[in-house]
Amino acid sequence: MFTSSPTHFDVYERGYIAVDDCGIIQGVYHTLPEDFAYDQLVDFGDKLLIPAMNDMHVHAPQFANMGVAMDMQLLPWLNTYVFPEEAKFADEAYAETIYHSFVSELWRQGTMRAAVFATVHTLATHILARTFDEAGMGAWIGLVGMDRHAPANLCNTSAEWAAGIQTLIDSLASMPLVKPIITPRFIPSCTPEMLRCMGEVAKQTLLPVQSHLSENKQEIAWVKELEPESSCYGDAYYRYGLFGQTPTLMAHCCYTDGEELQLMREQNVYAVHCPTSNCNLASGIAPVRKLLQQGVNVALGSDIAGGHHLSMFRVMQYAVQMSKLQYTASDGKYPFLTLSEVFYMATKVGGSLFGKVGSFEKGYAFDALVIDDLCLSPHHLIASSPIERLERFVYLGDDRHIQHRFCQGKEIKQV
Ligand SMILES: [Zn+2]
């Protein structure tokens, strides 16, 4: 089962997927074509087979803070909880331990690819990349640029960042599924000099960009003070070549509207909706339906440790539930999100940043999860349709029900 489009699930009950030696899907069939030649047939019986999850906004160094520190809003929360934890990643042994636990937990939750923020530390960021590579999982790895409004031990200069990203470009060249991504933390953390440097590197290398946008009202007011010549928060990135000049992911977009929304659409900037984080930090409810209606691509992110859990199935639940709050708050003006829409965001939209990933259509990488949902409802399961079974898993299931995990055709048995 998969979503080739957001409007419905493509269901192949007792169907077949043909995967070649490179892990690429050659076809999906209701019944196997006559004389179909194959080397190996793997039968998953009555289990659900779905594309693996793509988490398009997540902070690996905040893994140790996951599930705690929920008593503040964005700006004081960064200073009180996030920065002291991130400073620890100057210690490579600490990075090794936390990053291994982080990648292992992503794997456990069924997320095979992610767009990840690391810290300002080049060596620790390389450790994170290596951990994904050794696991056989995919990632965009972000060495953070940050040269103002943060503790001195967490700031790098633009020259240090540029040297660091070059080191990563070289050292990650041998990692087939892991690549660097240009990562200004957000406008308040980056001087014009840092932003100019990052925009220049984006232009030269064509690497994608990830950052934060219009998450919180105080943050937006602060950006206006810091970048008075920009017409909106998004324009502050755009002016430095960091808003769609190369593929761009912007997390949150809770208050994106008007000119910023138009700029996102024109520049094909992806919004990454992080509903658990937006709830926990009392940031706001992102206008996801409006973004979709305006033609903006929306992916999903766990955003730990603003978000409290790495499961993208939980993120899907929150996305649907928050859209229902918005539906009632808008007197029905913005229809709430459906299960197929949020599933599409967590699979095919996020996956599109990695190439052909996130679907079971021909030509896509076989990134997949086998879900054993039998125990979720033993008395009703036989009468349930595949879509009902998936819905029940999304709302009631967890990592214990994920029996197999594949990335690019390879089963990943342990991280
Ligand atoms: Zn974030």
According to the CATH classification, is domain 53-354 in 3.20.20.140?
yes
State the pLDDT at residue 376. Answer: 86
Q: Which two tokens stand for residue 200?
A: 């220049």
Residue 75 alpha carbon to ligand 1 centre in Å: 12
pLDDT tens-place string over residues 17-39: 999 999 999 999 999 988 889 99
| CA–CA dist 315, 52 (Å, integer) | 14
Give the least confident one: 54-58, 155-159, 339-343, 378-382.
Answer: 378-382
| CA–CA dist 338, 7 (Å, integer) | 8
Q: Are strands 8-10 and 2-5 parallel, antiparallel or unpaired?
A: antiparallel
Q: Are strands 248-252 and 270-273 parallel, antiparallel or unpaired?
A: parallel
Q: Does 379 have pLDDT greater than 80?
A: no
Going by C-alpha positions, the residue among 231, 249, 232, 233 that lies closest to residue 190 is 233
Q: Are strands 178-184 and 138-145 parallel, antiparallel or unpaired?
A: parallel
State the pLDDT at residue 383. Answer: 64
Residue 274 alpha carbon to ligand 1 centre in Å: 8
H helices present in 192-311, as ranges: 192-205, 217-226, 233-238, 258-267, 275-280, 288-293
Residue 251 alpha carbon to ligand 1 centre in Å: 6
Average pLDDT of every residue of the chain: 96
Q: Does 91 have pLDDT greater than 80?
A: yes
Please report which confidence band the pLDDT of residue 382 belongs to, taking 50, 70 and 90 as the band edges.
low
Residue 276 alpha carbon to ligand 1 centre in Å: 11
Q: What is the mean pLDDT of residues 295-324?
A: 97
Residue 57 alpha carbon to ligand 1 centre in Å: 6
Residue 305 alpha carbon to ligand 1 centre in Å: 8
Residue 184 alpha carbon to ligand 1 centre in Å: 11
Domain boundaries of the chain, sorted by first residue: 2-50+358-411, 53-354
Please report which confidence band the pLDDT of residue 153 belongs to, taking 50, 70 and 90 as the band edges.
very high
Residue 1 alpha carbon to ligand 1 centre in Å: 30
State the pLDDT at residue 179. Answer: 98
Q: What is the mean pLDDT of residues 89-108?
A: 98
Percentage of the chain modeled with pLDDT above 90: 93
Residue 386 alpha carbon to ligand 1 centre in Å: 34
Residue 213 alpha carbon to ligand 1 centre in Å: 9
Residue 292 alpha carbon to ligand 1 centre in Å: 21
Q: Does 211 have pLDDT greater than 80?
A: yes
Residue 349 alpha carbon to ligand 1 centre in Å: 18
Residue 41 alpha carbon to ligand 1 centre in Å: 42
Residue 167 alpha carbon to ligand 1 centre in Å: 24
Give this prediction's pTM: 0.97
| CA–CA dist 338, 317 (Å, integer) | 10
Q: Count the alpha carbons within 13 Å of 299 in the hemisphere toward its beta carbon.
A: 30
pLDDT tens-place string over residues 235-279: 999 999 999 999 999 999 999 999 999 999 999 999 999 999 999
The answer to whether the CB of 153 falls within 8 A of the CB of 90 is: yes
Q: Does 380 have pLDDT greater than 70?
A: no
Residue 114 alpha carbon to ligand 1 centre in Å: 13
Residue 8 alpha carbon to ligand 1 centre in Å: 30
Q: Which residues pair with 29 in a beta bridge?
A: 16
| CA–CA dist 102, 132 (Å, integer) | 10
Residue 39 alpha carbon to ligand 1 centre in Å: 44
Residue 277 alpha carbon to ligand 1 centre in Å: 8
Going by C-alpha positions, the residue among 323, 222, 234 that lies closest to residue 273 is 323
H helices present in 330-415, as ranges: 339-344, 350-351, 386-396
Residue 62 alpha carbon to ligand 1 centre in Å: 10
386-396 vs 312-329: helix crossing angle, rounded to 10:
90
Please report which confidence band the pLDDT of residue 174 belongs to, taking 50, 70 and 90 as the band edges.
very high
Q: Count the alpha carbons within 13 Å of 165 in the hemisphere toward its beta carbon.
A: 29
State the pLDDT at residue 374. Answer: 86
Please report which confidence band the pLDDT of residue 375 belongs to, taking 50, 70 and 90 as the band edges.
confident
Q: Give the DSSP letter string of 124-169.
A: HHHHHHHHHHHHT-EEEEEEEE--SSS-GGG---HHHHHHHHHHHH
Superfamily designation of domain 2-50+358-411: Urease, subunit C, domain 1 (2.30.40.10)
State the pLDDT at residue 16. Answer: 96
Residue 186 alpha carbon to ligand 1 centre in Å: 9
pLDDT tens-place string over residues 311-339: 999 999 999 999 999 999 999 999 999 99
Q: What is the mean pLDDT of residues 149-177?
A: 97
Q: Does 378 have pLDDT greater than 80?
A: no
Q: Which two tokens stand for residue 407?
A: 């990335």
pLDDT tens-place string over residues 63-80: 999 999 888 898 999 999
